[in-house]
Structure 1
Amino acid sequence: MRTLYLFSSAAPPVFDVARVIEDAQADGWDVCLGLTPTAARWLSQSVEGLAALTGHPVRWDYKLPGEPDAWPKADAILVAPATFNTVNQWALGITDKFVVGVVAEGIGKRIPTAVMPCVNAAYVQHPQFERSVETLRGAGVTVLYGDGGFVPNEPGHGNPAAYPWRLALDAVRGILD
């Protein structure tokens, strides 16, 4: 069985992560769930259930030096939903958050990685966002943004149920095949 690291930021589609884990497991993945600290706070009432669902601890912070790895090695990584902050920190190499540190290192380890942002149309007007998307693509990350990926909505008009999770799961499988 292949191992998928599913890393999620604090955007409304994160509330569907249990269903997404089940879908990934049905696709044959052993799923390890990592969250940004804010996403972990949003899902704090569900963390134990999500750990039971995956069979692995849910992580949002770095382990201490010398502690053994709690997860098997990743065959692939999916970062979704990825907020404006997560995308920019990753592209800029700012690794104070566990999930951003793992994906930044994942580039160097050549772990097949896909990311699907979840940002509104106002955020993407900031000039750093497009630079970050191009930086990640240039580093070999599959960025599911724009045509054939996530399309930003106007602020306050997002529909979390319409977030294209299936597209993200299919893309991460596709980068391995």
Structure 2
Amino acid sequence: MSADWTRPLRLHELGRGAVTLTLEPDAAQRAKVAHDLGLESLPALTASLTVKPWLDGAEITGRFRAVVEQICSVSLDPFQQTLEGRIEVRAVPQGSPHAPAAEGGEVELDADAPDPPDVLDGDAVDLAGYVVEHLALEVDPFPRKPGAEFDYTPSTQEESPFAVLRKLKDPEG
């Protein structure tokens, strides 16, 4: 997602137990995140996270709250709305015995089972990346300003191709 806003946490930092932190990007970082997500602007973004050891990786839980500015898909007016969401992710290092099976194997899907853990590229978890990812899931791709209504009344005139040909044959009719 946004390479300008990162907050890496190395897995060995969890050796002493859970880490609780609050993430809040500055104005330039929020502008980059807004651009990456196709938003007009991102006036506010705050996340409260707890990172705990999980098997040989980490479990990230918490909440985020953001104020996003988008363009209404009906009226084309800019408007702001508040988005909130939960973050629940597990991640393991590459090569972990707890990592999901490599591609090509048979996959069984169970809607009630927890998601498989993410596989990290290195020995660090990018907490800001997970916040941006979860924010992206909450952003409405077709935003509608509160109160905006799509008012369309179809033409009552006959618009078939035959009606057009009839007009060419009989210009007065």
The structure that is helix-richer by fraction is: 1
Q: TM-score, normalised by structure 2?
A: 0.26
Instruction: Pick the structure with greater CA Rg.
Output: 2
